């Protein structure tokens, strides 16, 4: 069981880091004005998504094992309003704080923690449920971030994965690498 728990925790940290990298690479491609643009009145901007993700992660993963994931100092509703004068640096500070809190907490977990119960908004979750909930939530919002960044950059977008029409070449290179390492 310890081996499985160790593998699970290691993989969870890897997957969180992949999501972070994907979002960071998308955000790096947009200009400051693009951060605040919305597709329509009901859509979130990149700025809102950065505030929300940062606030969510800071709340959920601060004192992850010992306190409710919805901290009393979190103002979730305010995460969806960008205050006048907010800058890219302000957004990045919130973003970084959330991701650092998440990654520090996840990387501190040990196999014995897998059996623990975590509380989120007064509801008990197994540690695995809490991590999977966070992974799903992040994947949802990172997908939105990539979509909005890609929309903003349009023809100037630099792909974050296999480029369109590039699957055959990508798979060939992977196979060559695999053969070369044997």
* Domain limits for position 41: 2-180
Q: Is the pTM of this model over 0.85?
A: yes
Can you tell me which residue has the tokens 């044997």? Answer: 182
Structure tokens, 91:
């957004």
2 pLDDT above the threshold of 80: yes
Query: Mean pLDDT throughout 43-58?
Result: 98
Tally of domains in the chain? 1
| CA proximity to 102, closest of 78, 141, 69, 145 | 69
Give the residue from 44, 51, 45 showing the smallest Cα distance to 30.
45
pLDDT tens string 105-131: 999 999 999 999 999 999 999 999 999
pLDDT band at 174 (very low <50, low <70, confident <90, very high): confident
Question: What confidence score (pLDDT) does residue 162 get?
Answer: 87
Residue 6 tokens read as: 């160790």
Give the pLDDT of residue 1.
Answer: 66
Reported confidence tier of residue 173, pLDDT bands at 50, 70, 90: confident
**pLDDT at residue 134, as a whole number:** 98
CATH number of the domain encompassing residue 110:
1.20.120.450
């Amino acid at each position: 069981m310890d081996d499985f728990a160790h593998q699970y925790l290691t993989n969870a940290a890897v997957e969180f880091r992949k999501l972070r990298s994907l979002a960071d690479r998308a955000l790096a491609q947009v200009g400051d004005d693009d951060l605040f643009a919305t597709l329509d009145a009901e859509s979130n901007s990149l700025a809102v998504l950065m505030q929300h993700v940062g606030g969510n992660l800071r709340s959920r993963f601060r004192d992850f094992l010992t306190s409710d994931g919805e901290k009393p100092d979190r103002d979730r509703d305010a995460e969806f309003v960008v205050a006048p004068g907010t800058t890219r640096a302000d957004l990045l500070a919130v973003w970084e704080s959330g991701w650092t809190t998440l990654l520090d907490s996840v990387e501190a977990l040990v196999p014995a923690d897998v059996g623990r119960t975590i509380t989120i908004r007064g509801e008990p979750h197994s540690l695995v449920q809490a991590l999977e909930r966070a992974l799903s939530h992040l994947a949802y919002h990172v997908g939105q971030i990539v979509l909005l960044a890609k929309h903003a950059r349009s023809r100037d977008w630099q792909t974050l994965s296999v480029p369109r029409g590039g699957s055959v070449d990508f798979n060939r290179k992977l196979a060559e690498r695999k053969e070369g390492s044997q």
